[in-house]
Amino acid sequence: MTRHFLNLADAGGNALSAMLNDAIERKEARKDWPKGKVDADAPLSEHVLAMIFEKSSTRTRVSFDMAIRQLGGTSLVMESGSMQLGRGETVADTAKVLSRMCDAIMIRTDHHDKIEELAANATIPVINGLTDLSHPCQIVADLLTLIEHGKALPGLEVAWLGDGNNVLNSIVEAAGLMKFNVRVGCPEGYDCDQSFITAAQESGANITIHRDAMEAASGADVIVADTWVSMGQAHADEKIEAMMPFQVNDMIMEQAKNDAVFLHCLPAHRGEEVMPSVIDGPQSLVWDEAENRIHAQKSVLRWAFGQI
Ligand code: CP
Ligand code: NVA
């Protein structure tokens, strides 16, 4: 069975734990090495990862490129606009051709249906590098960052402030798999996907919705923010106005536990979803979080190839 990673549930909680352990071990094993040096065991030697981008990216592009290099393989990067896909070739035909030429596909796209169609027609692993629905690879890096900083996941209180978007959907999904709780601080009308909430709650996670940002942040172990306007969304003044009370600033951080940490997948908009004093302050883990995209993506790739 080809292993696709469209959402975290495709791997499940046990595999996700194993991926996190693998990432920690591999990161430690190559500490202080030049970043382009191949890992000693080169576990994906001679493998080629095809990357398709239908939206902008810095971290996802660079981290997957570095990840496959460190695992001994190579990548090729394609903007959909320069592919026949951008001129109307079907997703299914693209999947069939890339399956004959490459070993795995990572795609960043808009509608989640597209990645499902790609996976349904591919005979090689397809990995979600962000869709409008979810961003599972980001959350593997986020969980890795929390564990590294001594935050055991079970029972952790994670507060999300802002738009109910793709990143939040994957955090809520992770909560169900790894048994932590999420307080979603979000204005009415901007909630996240109910199916992720229901699945997480059925797995025993406590997911609560708060229309008051202070209440959401109160006693939290982790505060998470993301852009208020995701790629492909209109920049509406009324949305920014609704989001303003959910800005992560010093007052919000004071509501959280003293040793609370701040996460943001980046890119950030200082003065909108987060103030500089927080994202550039001592509780922020955003640079570790960004670096961990490489280590997390290596484990996702190894899982997709049945090595984890
Ligand atoms: N966090 C993240 O996915 O960043 P990019 O959009 O730069 O890939
Ligand atoms: N929610 C953001 C995440 C960017 C990494 C977006 O979809 O644009």
Catalytic-labelled residue, pool 70, 138, 247, 297: 138
CA distance linking residue 218 with residue 215, whole number of Å? 5
- Considering the domain boundaries, does residue 27 fall inside one? yes
Single-letter amino acid code for the residue at 130: L
Q: What is the pLDDT of residue 266?
A: 98
Q: What is the pLDDT of residue 305?
A: 98
Q: What is the pLDDT of residue 31?
A: 97
* Interval 194-251: pLDDT, tens: 999 999 999 999 999 999 999 999 999 999 999 999 999 988 899 999 999 999 999 9
Counting the structural domains of the chain, the total is: 2
- Considering the domain boundaries, does residue 128 fall inside one? yes
Residue nearest to atom 1 of ligand 2 (CA): 230
- Considering the domain boundaries, does residue 213 fall inside one? yes
Q: Largest alpha-carbon pair distance within the chain?
A: 54
How many Å lie between the centroid of ligand 1 and the Cα of residue 265?
A: 7
Q: What is the pLDDT of residue 235?
A: 83
Atom of ligand 2 nearest to the CA of 265: 5
CA contacts within 13 A on the Cβ side of 20:
24
Active-site residue flag, 138: yes
Taken in order 255, 226, 270, 280, is the CA torsion positive or negative? positive
Q: What is the pLDDT of residue 166?
A: 98
Domain identity same for 55 and 108: yes
Domain identity same for 168 and 274: yes
What is the secondary structure of 18-46 as a DSSP string?
HHHHHHHHHHHHTTTS-TTSPPTT-TTTT
- pLDDT lower than 50: segments of the chain: none
How many Å lie between the centroid of ligand 1 and the Cα of residue 130?
A: 8
Domain at 259, CATH number: 3.40.50.1370
Q: Is the CB of 141 inside a 6 Å radius of any atom of ligand 2?
A: no
How many Å lie between the centroid of ligand 2 and the Cα of residue 139?
A: 12
Domain identity same for 86 and 173: no
Q: What is the pLDDT of residue 194?
A: 97
Strand partners, 160: 184, 224
Query: Which phi and psi (to 5°) does residue 256 adopt?
Result: -75, 175
Domain identity same for 22 and 101: yes
Name the token pair of 223: 């505060």
Domain membership of residue 93 as a residue range: 8-135+292-304
Alpha-carbon distance values, 47 to 34, 35, 187, 197, 243 (Å): 21, 19, 45, 36, 44
